[in-house]
Structures are given as structure tokens and as C-alpha cells.
Structure 1
Amino acid sequence: MTVPTRPPNTSRPYPVADNSARGPESEYTANGWVPVIIAGVVAAFVIAIAGVIAGLVVVNIRESAPQAPKPAAAQSPATIPAAAPLTEAPPIVVDTAVVDHLDPLAVQRGVVRVLGESYGVADVREVKCPGEQPVEIGVVFDCTARVDGLRKTVTVTVTDRDGTYEVSRPH
């Protein structure tokens, strides 16, 4: 059995729609592309907004993640100023909202950060601070920490109603 074939049309090898039967309204206009262009612009806008939102989420996650202390091998002696010993650490703001009590976990992370960044102490472990310390100017309390393998005490002093505090050198 053979399939019927027709000879190829060399003048028009591909089928072309015949628009002559439709009448004068079948002329080509650019209006057919307007919805396509609008859809493309809207899609690009939606993708851009989604990218901005995803970027903000990533930045928020990175800023809220706790920072690990740097290992001792990563610090060189040149980065720790020996000629200008610090007597007080720069203040740390716990939160911008008004709070009644300090978060002990946040204070413990702050103590590790201050001891590492301000005092150059690389090996700080097992920081314990008392809970429910009020956010009042002049409140002083002690936290214990294991510094270079030895049990030490640091004094934390609240300096304002926003939860800013100072951390002393380990003693």
C-alpha cells in the first residue's frame, strides 16, 4: 500500500493562510504585539521585585546569624595593638526597642565579641551571665567565662535605657 503524495509546489513550498477571504479588516497591525510586550514588561517587573525581596531576606538572614569567633591562628600579632591597651570596650546595643530586661544569651554573645574584637582575646568559651538583668543606667553584674582555659570574670555595666552596655577586661 502506498501513501498518496502530491507534487511539491515550488512557488510556495510551505502552506500559507489565505487572508483574502476575511475581508479588509485582516490587514496587519502592530496591535497584535501590544499584549505580548505588556506581558513581557510585567513579567520582568515581577522577576525584579522577587529578586529584591530574595536579596533582602538573604541579607536579613546573614545579619541575624551569630558570628563565630575567629580562630587563634587567623589573628596575627600585628592586628592586636600592644602599645595602646584598652580600658573599656566600645558599647554594644542589644536592641533598638525599649526592653525591660537584658537577654542573657545576647549578652553572652556580646561578651565573646567584645573580648575578641576589643581586647584581642581569641579563646573565649563557656560564657555565663545571670538572667533577668534590668535595663537601667548603672546596673552592674558579673559574667564568668573560660579565657585561655582559665576561669575569669568580666564586669558588664548598663550605660543607657536602650540596652547599651560595656564589658570590662577579664579579671
Structure 2
Amino acid sequence: MRLQLPWQHGRSDQPMTKKPHWRRITLYALLLMFLWPWLLKLDLLNKSGIALQIFIAAIYLNYLSFVFSIAQGQRLSKGISPAGAVCLFLFSNMLLIFMFAVGWQRFALFGPGGSCLPEPGFLDSLYFSTTTFATVGFGDFIPCNRSGKILLMAESLIGSTHFGIFITLIFSRVIYPPQAESQ
């Protein structure tokens, strides 16, 4: 009798096969989304234009890998539960807003009336990121230069499409239920 490992399904006398576990990919993408902005907080990237471009590219690459891993998981027979989808959506919103807030604080590209705050506090950065992500834009803070406008456009694009992407992924499972796995 063979020892049955967690990734094995079926009887223990069947050949051992390791099935991919898509949920780990999602977790890794979330962890990567959360951890890499700390490079900015630790001054490992400078404030030049190239650092801003790397920042935006990294956010988009992480976000797309996260979305594609969710899409891959939805195609499997055991997808995410509705409660899990809501939690994942809220958690990903918070992570995205937090990541952009780190960028706003590090690059100091916003301020009241078009003048840049020299050293914005994290609460102001988080507030500005939240209003930008939610596409509310109260107007008390605005981007103060061209680089700020680029970062604002990058965050607004993700913020305005994030809800639609998640609704599409979740309801695609309802409209097109997955086929039962062959036994």
C-alpha cells in the first residue's frame, strides 16, 4: 500500500501523479504583489523616471499574472467558491490600493493645487490612491507633473477595469459550468 499524498486523488494503487495546484499560483502572485513595493520603501530604487516605469510595469505584470491564475482556476472543475471570490476581490483591491499608495508616497507626485508635496505622509498617499483607484477623485490632491499623470492613468485603468474583470471571471463559471473531471 502506497502513502497517498495531498495532491493525489483516487485509490492508492493508482500510479502517482502530481496535479497542478492553481491556488498556490494565486497565492504567490498575491504575495509578490504585496512584497515588491517595499523595495521602494527601502530606497532600493531611485526616484528617477526609469524607477517609475519599472514600478508601473511590475504592478501590471503582477496584476495580469494574478488575473490569469484566477482565470485558469475557474476553468478547473473545483473553482473558487462565491464567498472565496468576494474575499479574494476585496483583498486584491486592498493590495492594489496599497501598492499604488507606496508609489505615490515614494515618488511624491501629487499635492494640493498642483504643487508636489515634498514628503507626503502614508495616510495622504493611501487616501489619494484610494480615490484614484475608485475613480472618485475629490480634487483636494492632484498629480503635480507629467510623471504623476502617468501614474494616475496607470492606477485609474486598473481601478476602473478591476471590478469588471472579476465579475466576468466569476460569472463565466456560472454561465459555462466546468465539465466533470473524467474518472
| More RCO (CA 8 Å, sep 6+) | 2
Bigger radius of gyration among the two: 1
TM-score (norm: length of structure 1): 0.29
Higher helix share: 2
Normalised to the residue count of structure 2, the TM-score between the two structures is 0.28
